[in-house]
């Protein structure tokens, strides 16, 4: 039996990387899937030949996030699982290189986007007396490694606090919140590393399907089970 049969799942950042891998695995497990992201052409290509719905939106803008949620709730008939996966980084990420503009850009893409989507979806989940929000965070939300950069780390730490706080508040409404913290993953965000990443190193990292499998695992658990946090790293990485 398909593990996600009948589940209505919305995935942000669904046009590539972890988001697209998650969308494909959720479809294979019987879910009804919608994806969103900033670039309509990328979403259209990702959804081609499938039954995925898609809708472009800049989730850093509260009005666009709400309009996207409202539209897809209407098309799906509700949302059982929201996967906040959208994120970004920049090359000039050290504190001395940041500007007020780049700081706001990174907080908007990595923290505000999740907040806006949660704010828009929670009334629907409360109404249906249940739901699951999975925030795909980063190991940078637990360990402020300089590799991620100051603003990225700050946003991911903020996302951890957001996840834990909303999970604590919304449990009385049957709503669970999980934060997933991947280590290095071979996705297009690596293209914005200050130094190029070799193919050999990319192959040693987690792959998008690895993180997607963790998302599917969490989404397939029964409503009486909650996983507040899940850390997943490459086997050759040290987590201390």
In a domain, 126, yes or no: yes
Q: Quote the CA–CA distance of 135 and 108 in Å, as a whole number.
A: 15
In a domain, 237, yes or no: no
In a domain, 240, yes or no: no
In a domain, 2, yes or no: no
* Residue range of the domain that includes 179: 8-232
Average pLDDT over residues 170-180: 98
In a domain, 3, yes or no: no
Average pLDDT over residues 210-230: 98
Predicted pLDDT of residue 90: 97
What's the mean pLDDT when you consider all of the chain? 97
Average pLDDT over residues 1-23: 96
What percent of the chain has pLDDT above 90? Answer: 98
Predicted pLDDT of residue 237: 93
Predicted pLDDT of residue 116: 98
Active site residues: 152
Task: Using a cut of 0.85, tell me whether the model's pTM lies above it.
Answer: yes
Average pLDDT over residues 101-106: 98
Q: Which two tokens stand for residue 173?
A: 């409404």
In a domain, 209, yes or no: yes
Q: Which two tokens stand for residue 171?
A: 């449990």
Task: Put the strands of the sheet holding 131-136 in their side by side order.
Answer: 53-56, 32-37, 8-12, 81-84, 131-136, 175-182, 229-232
In a domain, 189, yes or no: yes
In a domain, 238, yes or no: no
Q: Quote the CA–CA distance of 5 and 24 in Å, as a whole number.
A: 14
Residue 79: Cβ within 10 Å count: 24
Tokens 């989507």 belong to residue? 117
**Does the pLDDT value for residue 213 go beyond 80?**
yes
Predicted pLDDT of residue 175: 98
C-alpha gyration radius of the chain = 17
Q: Who's near 165: CB < 8 A, 6+ residues apart?
A: none
Q: What is the CATH number of the domain that holds 52?
A: 3.40.50.720
Domain count, the chain: 1
Q: Quote the CA–CA distance of 75 and 217 in Å, as a whole number.
A: 25
Kindly report, residue by residue over 136-168, the tens digit of the pLDDT.
Answer: 999 999 999 999 999 999 999 999 999 999 999
Kindly report, residue by residue over 183-196, the tens digit of the pLDDT.
Answer: 999 999 999 999 99
**Does the pLDDT value for residue 8 go beyond 90?**
yes
Query: At 37, is the pLDDT very low, low, confident or very high (cuts 50, 70, 90)?
Result: very high
**Does the pLDDT value for residue 240 go beyond 90?**
no
């Amino acid at each position: 039996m398909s593990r996600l049969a009948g589940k209505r799942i919305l995935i942000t950042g669904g046009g590539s990387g972890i988001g697209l891998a998650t969308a494909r695995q959720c479809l294979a497990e019987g879910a009804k899937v919608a994806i969103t992201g900033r670039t309509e052409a990328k979403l259209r290509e990702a959804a081609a030949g499938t039954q995925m719905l898609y809708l472009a939106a800049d989730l850093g803008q509260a009005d666009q996030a709400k309009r996207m949620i409202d539209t897809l709730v209407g098309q799906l008939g509700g949302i059982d699982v929201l996967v906040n996966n959208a994120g970004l980084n920049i090359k000039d990420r050290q504190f001395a290189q940041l500007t007020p503009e780049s700081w706001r850009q990174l907080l908007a893409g990595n923290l505000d986007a999740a907040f806006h989507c949660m704010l828009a979806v929670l009334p629907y989940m409360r109404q249906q007396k249940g739901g699951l929000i999975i925030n795909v965070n980063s190991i940078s939300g637990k360990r402020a490694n300089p590799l991620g950069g100051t603003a990225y780390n700050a946003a991911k730490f903020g996302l951890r606090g957001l996840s834990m706080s909303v999970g604590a508040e919304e449990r009385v409404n049957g709503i669970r919140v999980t934060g997933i913290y991947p280590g290095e993953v071979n996705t297009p965000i690596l293209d914005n590393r200050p130094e190029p990443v070799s193919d050999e190193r990319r192959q040693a990292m987690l792959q998008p399907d690895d993180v997607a499998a963790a998302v599917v695992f969490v989404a397939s658990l029964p409503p009486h089970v909650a996983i507040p946090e899940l850390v997943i790293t490459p086997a050759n990485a040290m987590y201390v």
